[in-house]
Amino acid sequence: NAGVMQNPRHLVRRRGQEARLRCSPMKGHSHVYWYRQLPEEGLKFMVYLQKENIIDESGMPKERFSAEFPKEGPSILRIQQVVRGDSAAYFCASSTRRDTIYFGEGSWLTVV
Amino acid sequence: GQQLNQSPQSMFIQEGEDVSMNCTSSSIFNTWLWYKQDPGEGPVLLIALYKAGELTSNGRLTAQFGITRKDSFLNISASIPSDVGIYFCAGHNSGGSNYKLTFGKGTLLTVNP
């Protein structure tokens, strides 16, 4: 997973606040994915993005969650008005085309 | 939705022992992947399998893609303390969404020195 950079690694938010998680893909990778891992669970797909395009957001909750991957800069996963159930580890991954994907080290969100 | 049943849920073994864990699916997968996750870290890819029947090794690790395309196993030989962690199987099906991985719930491996 070396090369996929996520920040912050740990984030604490009060209920109702916004959380922004950033991901810089591996060099040369233009495909970015976000997954969520609840405690003692496997990872679950949220969204797949290419530069300036959302390709598949079928795993994203319909409300409060959004993702972008602008032409310049990192991909952002944004969670508005966080609730306790949003507490989880959020993993970004990247790949070239649709090849093997590599995960970052994760961002742990705690909602208090 | 698709489900992966991974077993065992946890294992506690002595250093030097061999380990075997497996995953079964309710539907066909065309790729199986095995990841290891250390506490507070992201999953690290161990082995990728792309063909039914394929047997692939990576050092002390060996994984196989089942003939039915609905199962896979991972073996670790001569375990060492640094093998401790959670092992996840993951796969994606034949529907073309090869980025949309389905993960098992993991096998927690503890190695007693």
DSSP A23-61: EEPPTT--EEEEEEE-TTS-EEEEEEEETTEEEE-TTS-
- With an 8 Å Cβ cutoff, is A50 touching chain B? no
Q: Is the pLDDT of residue B30 over 90?
A: no
Residue B87 CA to residue B108 CA, distance in Å, equals 6
Share of chain B above pLDDT 70, in %: 94
| Mean pLDDT to the nearest integer, A67-80 | 95
**Which tokens sit at A108?**
């742990």
Q: Which one-letter amino acid corresponds to residue A54?
A: I
- The pLDDT of residue B96 is above 70: no
Q: Which residue of B has its CA nearest to A46?
A: B100
**Residue A2 pLDDT > 60, yes or no?**
no
Asked if the Cβ–Cβ distance from B99 to A40 is below 8 Å, we say no
User: By mean pLDDT, which of A8-17, A39-48, B93-102 is the weakest?
Assistant: B93-102
Taking CA–CA distances from B43, the nearest residue in chain A reads A103
- B29 Cβ neighbours under 8 A, 6+ residues apart: B69, B70, B91, B92, B93, B94, B102
Q: In this predicted structure, what is the pLDDT of residue B95?
A: 58
For chain A, percent of residues with pLDDT exceeding 70: 96
Interface contact flag, B99 A44, Cβ < 8 Å = no
pLDDT at A1: 46
The pLDDT of A60-64, averaged and rounded, is 94
pLDDT of residue B56: 95
Nearest to A48 by CA among A28, A27, A25: A25
| Mean pLDDT computed over A1-17 | 91
Show the 3-state SS of chain B. CCCEEEECCEEEEECCCCEEEEEEECCCEEEEEEEEECCCCCEEEEEEECCCCCEEEECCEEEEECCCCCEEEEEECCCCHHHCEEEEEEEEECCCCCCCCEECCCEEEEEEC
Task: Please give the interface size between A and B, counted as residue pairs whose CB atoms are below 8 Å apart.
Answer: 62
pLDDT per position as a tens digit, B2-13? 678 999 999 999
Contact criterion met (CB below 8 Å) for A58 and A49 = no
- Decide if B90 and A108 are in contact by the 8 Å CB cutoff: no
- Give the residue, A23 or B3, on which the prediction is more confident: A23
pLDDT of residue A100: 78
Across chain B, mean pLDDT equals: 91
> B48-86 pLDDT, tens per residue?
998 999 999 999 999 999 999 999 999 999 999 999 999
Assess whether pLDDT exceeds 50 at residue A4.
yes
Strand pairing partners for B61? B58, B76
pLDDT of residue B3: 77
- Which of A103, A107, A108, A109 should be substituted to probe chain B, the one whose Cβ sees the most B Cβ atoms within 10 Å? A103
